[in-house]
Structure 1
Amino acid sequence: MNPLPTLPLPDLTGFTHRWVDGIHAVEGGQPTGPAVVLLAGFPQTWWAWRKAMPALAGRFRVLAIDLPGQGHSDRPHDSYDTHTVASRVHAAVTALDVPKYWLAAHDIGAWVAFSLALQHEERLHGVALLDAGIPGITLPGSIPTDHRAWKTWHFAFHQVPDLPETLLAGREREYVDWFLKAKSLSPFDNAETDHYAASLAAEGGLRASLAYYRDAEESARKNRDSVARRPLTVPVLGISSSHGSIPDMAASLSPWANNVTGVVIPDAGHFIPDEQPDAVVAALTTFIAG
C-alpha cells in the first residue's frame, strides 16, 4: 500500500509500482533477465534513474527502489543507519522474488549499497557505486575548509539538531534547486526540481532525509566493524564523473574490496544518472557482462 497517497506518483512507460512492507519499488524489463537494483541519493528519489531504466530494461529485470524516507516509501521516525536501511531494502528485494542481483547506487544510495554488500555479499553478483564517500570508509572524518567545502558543507549542517528543519520547512524547493544547480553540469528543468522538492516537503520527508546524516556516525561504526573482519570480495565498480565530488571512486574503494574497477563519466557533475544516462547504462552493461 502506498504510504503517501497524496504525493504525486509519476509513471514510467513499461514499469509498474510495487510496495513491500512500506518500501516502494518500480519494476520493469525482462522478467527472466539478470536483476539490477537501483538506489538514489539526496535530494532525489527513484526518479533519478528514469532516463537509464528504459535502456537497462532491454536486457535486464530492473527494480528502482525508494529508500525509507524517499519518494513513496514510508518515513519511520528512527533507524536510518545504513545497515538497518540496507536490511529493509534487501528484504524488499527478496520479497519481490529476486534471489540474486546486481546493485547500482548513487550518493546516499551508495552508502546503503556498501552496507548491504557487507551484510549480504552472497546475494549480490556485483555492486556499482556512483560518486559517493562512504561513512567510515572513504568519507573524510572532517569537513574540508578549502575550495572543496561547498561540496560537503551540508553534511555538518544536516547533523545539527532542529536548526535545518527550522530554516528549510516551507523552503524545500529552494534548497533542492540549489543542489541540482550547484552540483550538476546539465540543467534540471522545473518539473524535475518540483518532483524532488515535493517528496522532501511531504510529511516526514525532511526529517527522514536529515536522519541519514544524523545516523552517519552509527553507519560508519558498523561499516568499520564489518570491513575489519573481512573486505568485500564481490566485484565493485566505482563510477566517477569529470565534475563530481569523488575524482576516482575506484582508487578510494580499493583498500576495502578485493575486486575493484573504475570508470570516469565525462561531461557530468554529481548527478551522473540524470546527466549522462547513456554512459551510465554502458558502464553498467559492461560491468555486468564482464
Structure 2
Amino acid sequence: MHVAEAGRGQPLLLLHGFPQNWWEWHGVIPHLAEHYRVVAVDQRGFGWTDAPTKGYEARTLVDDIVQLMATLDITRARFLTHDWGAIIGQQLAMDRPDLVEALVVTGAPDVHIRPNARLLGLFPKLWHAFAIAAPGIGPRVQQNEKVVRHLFTAFEPAGGVKEEDIQLYYAAMAQRERALAGSALYRATILPAFMAIIFGAYARRDFAVRTLVLTGAMEPSGTLQGMGHRPGRGGNVTTEILPGEGHFLADHRPELVADRALRFFAQEPDH
C-alpha cells in the first residue's frame, strides 16, 4: 500500500473516493498537517497501491486499513473520508470502534439514513454505477474519457474539479488492472453497501463513533442524507448539507473541508 504523509502529532487518516487516489486531498493536507500527522492512503487497486485481481469486498478493504495502521504503529486515529472511502471508514467504525477516534464523511450518506420516495428519482442519475459494476463492460466504461468526464462534472458546480486533475485520474483509470479493480469494487462493495443502506441492514449495528457528514446539496448523497435517519443504534451523527456544492468537495473547496474537519476533530467527545 502506498501512502503520502505530512505533519506530526496525533494521526489522521484520509481515505479517498472513486475514481481518485491520495491526490484528491492535496489541497486539504497542508491545512491538516499543521495540527496532525496526516496519512493519505491509496486504497487497494488505486493510485500507487497494488491492484490485485481480488479482495475488493468491504471486509478485506477494512482489513487493509487495520493492517496498515498496525504497520504504521497507529493504535487509534481520526478519519477524513470520501465516497467509497466513507463506506470503508464507517464499516471500520462499526467493526473496530477502538481504532476510530472520530470520523468525517464526505460525498456519501451515513449508513443509518432512512430513504423515502425521493430515492426513486436518484436511480436514473446513478446509471454509471451499474455500468461500471457490470463484468466486461465496467472496465471499458472506465477507459472511456467521456464517461470519466461525466463522473467529475455531473454533480458539480462549474469549475469543480480542475482539468489537470481529471486527466491525472483518467490516466490511472485507463490502466487495465485498475479499471478491473474499479469494476470489482463496485460489484463487491459500493453497490452492496448502497442496497444495505436502502434496506436498513445497518440499523441493528452499534455505531457509537462521533461522525460528521459533510455533503453537497447538488449530489445524490446530499439528497439521501436529507431524508433523515432510522431509529435504532445510529451513532452521534452531525449533518451539514452545503447549498450549491457537489460531490468532490475536497477538490472544489479544500479550505472548507479542512476547516470543518479541524473544528469537528477539536470538539470534546460526549460522555
**TM-score normalised by L of structure 1:** 0.80
Could you tell me how far 1:166 is from its partner in structure 2?
A: 4.0
8 Å contact kept, 1:104–1:129:
yes
Matched with 1:181 is 153
Larger CA deviation: 244-253 vs 86-95:
244-253
Counterpart residue identity of residue 157, structure 1: A
SS state at 1:199 partner: helix
Aligned residues between the structures: 261
Matched with 2:209 is 234
Check 1:215–1:142 CA distance in 2 against 1; reply closer, same or farther (3 A cut): farther
Matches of 2:88 and 2:201, distance apart in 1: 16
Q: 1:261-290 CA distances to partner (integer Å, 9 max, x unpaired)?
A: 122334421101111111111111111111
Larger CA deviation: 230-239 vs 240-249:
240-249
Q: 1:231-274 CA distances to partner (integer Å, 9 max, x unpaired)?
A: 11111111122322222648656645231112233442110111
Structure 2: which 5+ runs fail to align? none
**Corresponding position: 1:99 with 2:75:** yes
Counterpart residue identity of residue 156, structure 1: F
Residue among 164, 168, 182 paired with 1:191: 164
Check 1:140–1:127 CA distance in 2 against 1; reply closer, same or farther (3 A cut): same
Matches of 2:158 and 2:79, distance apart in 1: 25
Residue among 66, 70, 79 paired with 1:90: 66
SS state at 2:222 partner: coil
What is the 5 A alignment of 1:99-178?
99-133=75-109, 138=113, 146=121, 148-169=122-143, 171=144, 173-178=145-150
Check 1:160–1:279 CA distance in 2 against 1; reply closer, same or farther (3 A cut): same
Q: 1:186-240 CA distances to partner (integer Å, 9 max, x unpaired)?
A: 4233311111011112241111111111113665799977763x41111111112
Q: 1:23-53 CA distances to partner (integer Å, 9 max, x unpaired)?
A: 11111112xx221111111111111111000
Check 1:218–1:266 CA distance in 2 against 1; reply closer, same or farther (3 A cut): closer
Which structure has more RCO (C-alpha within 8 Å, separation ≥ 6)?
Answer: 2
**TM-score normalised by L of structure 2:** 0.85
Larger CA deviation: 183-192 vs 199-208:
183-192
Matched with 1:279 is 256
Matched with 2:41 is 65
Matches of 2:81 and 2:115, distance apart in 1: 20
8 Å contact kept, 1:241–1:247:
yes
Counterpart residue identity of residue 180, structure 2: R
Matched with 1:263 is 240
**Corresponding position: 1:25 with 2:7:** no
**Corresponding position: 1:49 with 2:14:** no
Matched with 1:202 is 175
**Corresponding position: 1:78 with 2:54:** yes
8 Å contact kept, 2:135–2:183:
no
Check 1:159–1:87 CA distance in 2 against 1; reply closer, same or farther (3 A cut): same
8 Å contact kept, 1:69–1:209:
yes
Check 1:81–1:221 CA distance in 2 against 1; reply closer, same or farther (3 A cut): farther
Identity, % of aligned positions: 25
RMSD: 2.8
Matches of 1:50 and 1:98, distance apart in 2: 22
8 Å contact kept, 1:118–1:232:
yes
Matches of 1:167 and 1:61, distance apart in 2: 37
8 Å contact kept, 2:115–2:228:
no
Runs of 4+ more than 6 Å apart: 139-143, 220-226
